[in-house]
Structure 1
């Protein structure tokens, strides 16, 4: 087993180094290179990686660290104001995108249930792609970053509610159904309150006492992040939400930016695994069947999502350029869409083909949206020196 994991890691990271070099020489986004590598090495092509499930589970840690670092950049007062301000925009836009997915799927002959699931999958934008393409300066100092993050968080809350409903459909026990709904409602305020109290009375005192030992701060930060992720899962929430709460609870401390800087390489390590696992999990045998509806859905998302956000944000008195930028940054489908596809297929709500339509749409939308952002807006992986900002 150890040899298999080492061999898999060698193929992934040596391969990632090669494709990243090619991507940089040809001025292509590295995110897409990692997904392409996953398709190439995965079960559907060369089949050199035979443990995509393991890779997928490990890559999930990258998402957790990404949300933790995002939380470290968000002052609680600013975050609360933004969530209040943007809540109706997130809800209205989600309904519009669900209708888009439903209508397109129905037009391609999918069943009512499958069309509804595809619609639900179209509701959300990718936290990983959006945050990966936001420069740190935009996160820290720009209103645009606050808007993007606020909308993503509200979408994540809606996505968790959708997943809870799907879980309840897949469960046959009434008690279990009730607990799936009750636990998050009770757990969220307890988790938030407990996090801020623990940081104030325990964590910051420990860090202040041993701040000379950089290794200690590194270990405590990782432990805190993962502890909150596990606590959130226990409370019926997502691990990502727990990690984000862990970061926000630390955001008011001067140590937060030191932690954020030191954890970025660890985050990138696991995010490479995440994008690789997306490609590796896709079944190429179904590509011919799903490619046309996936292209239509992905292009529709890229065209309609920015337009919807442009006019909804106009209601918040946002200026035109900010509204368009937020819309294009949120113009893809989410990693939550992949979870919805996997879960709905596993409980028999949709067929394998419909599940792969959602997966293909997510991959294509990641690609199209990434190209639009790196060619037009400031981001850390821009092709143009003028737009490249970390």
Structure 2
């Protein structure tokens, strides 16, 4: 893509996003829906004005990295361990229940065993972007709702990383005609996780914080140092078999105990929002609408079951550790969708020839439908930065 076309694409995306966002606010609709609809209109299956969706998806991925970095900046290491201890059993039970739901639906509609297993795996996860983006800052920092949502999403992200690594291994072995087996690379990557965390904490204590203290008068330097630390650790994690998201989160956690963490968080939020607009646009732009006629009913059934059953299951499982029944239900509704990881799973499995294009489209369409439906439920009924009712709008 030439420079001129990149600039023109950005012009179309952000001008169009501003126009549709204005309409969304007038008609009290979630802004996330405007970005997805814009992608569908301008993308290769719409007007074909923006066609290089792979480039946009790569650029938009930076938004997820910054999102995880900002989450980490709000998590003291001791607080994080406490949350993970509270939520690991909930994450395990809910993952099994949702995987079974997806498997039964997939197998019931005639998909093969391996396709049904992957469809089931894709329904285990909830969206980190939706979950965090719709949490008010005060809830994210100080309320049990925020602690449970973030803790469960982090555990799911770890599980998603394991699954993506496993799918990569299976896809490589399947394409080479080898006997399927669990790769030692997976175990090595997981074993490296605590080492990366300890190394990050040490580097921050002995290198980054002294530099920040010495040059804290130069705000531009602090900004560049934070960006370099976030993206550098993200790339390191990716290079050893983890994900860039986990690396960015570790980078944030390692800085969370410092006095400079909230200053960094405030200054990076506009950059995060810029890339997240691109992320949701790329979801709408990359969706293959012409193929929907063959599986629209399956998509509708699976999406409906996810949106209705996930809040109930989460609300029931979380209730014993919640302060109130209302909190458990709110957490359930905030996690009542599939995930951006579901789209990654579908893409990876399809490219590895583990599933058909129809199965991949089912997973992606379910993700988009549940993104939209879940966002509606949250912004109409719970506090969020983009709530459609004035008394629910908080940040």
Structure 1 and Structure 2 fold alike (TM over 0.5): yes
CA distance in 1: counterparts of 2:319 and 2:329, whole angstroms: 10
CA distance in 1: counterparts of 2:323 and 2:293, whole angstroms: 42
Q: Does 1:241 align with 2:242?
A: no
CA distance in 1: counterparts of 2:17 and 2:184, whole angstroms: 42
CA distance in 2: counterparts of 1:257 and 1:73, whole angstroms: 8
How far is 1:243 from its partner?
0.3
**Structure 2 matches for 1:236-315, cutoff 5 A?**
236-315=241-320
User: Per-residue CA shift, 1:26-84, capped at 9, x if unaligned?
Assistant: 11111010000001111111111111000000000000000000111111111101101
CA distance in 1: counterparts of 2:99 and 2:184, whole angstroms: 27
Q: Does 1:162 align with 2:163?
A: yes
Kindly tell me the number of residue pairs found equivalent between the two proteins: 390
SS in 1 for 2:124: coil
Give the TM-score of the pair, scaled to structure 2: 0.96
Aligned twin of 1:105: 106
Aligned twin of 1:203: 208
Distance 1:277 1:86, change over 3 A: same
How far is 1:222 from its partner?
0.5
Q: Does 1:345 align with 2:346?
A: no
**Structure 2 matches for 1:66-85, cutoff 5 A?**
66-85=67-86
**Structure 2 matches for 1:56-205, cutoff 5 A?**
56-172=57-173, 178-205=183-210
Work out whether residues 171 and 177 of structure 1, in 8 Å CA contact, stay in contact via their aligned partners in 2: no
CA distance in 2: counterparts of 1:118 and 1:66, whole angstroms: 26
Work out whether residues 374 and 382 of structure 1, in 8 Å CA contact, stay in contact via their aligned partners in 2: yes
CA distance in 2: counterparts of 1:109 and 1:171, whole angstroms: 26
CA distance in 2: counterparts of 1:117 and 1:186, whole angstroms: 25
Q: Does 1:36 align with 2:41?
A: no
Give the TM-score of the pair, scaled to structure 1: 0.97
Aligned twin of 1:8: 9
Select the residue among 369, 384, 390 that pairs with 1:364: 369
Work out whether residues 124 and 333 of structure 1, in 8 Å CA contact, stay in contact via their aligned partners in 2: yes
How far is 1:318 from its partner?
4.5
CA distance in 2: counterparts of 1:260 and 1:289, whole angstroms: 45
Runs in 1 of length 4+ with deviation above 3 angstroms?
A: 176-179
Unaligned runs of 5+ in 2: none
CA distance in 1: counterparts of 2:348 and 2:392, whole angstroms: 38
Q: Does 1:23 align with 2:28?
A: no
Unaligned runs of 5+ in 1: none
CA distance in 2: counterparts of 1:351 and 1:178, whole angstroms: 24
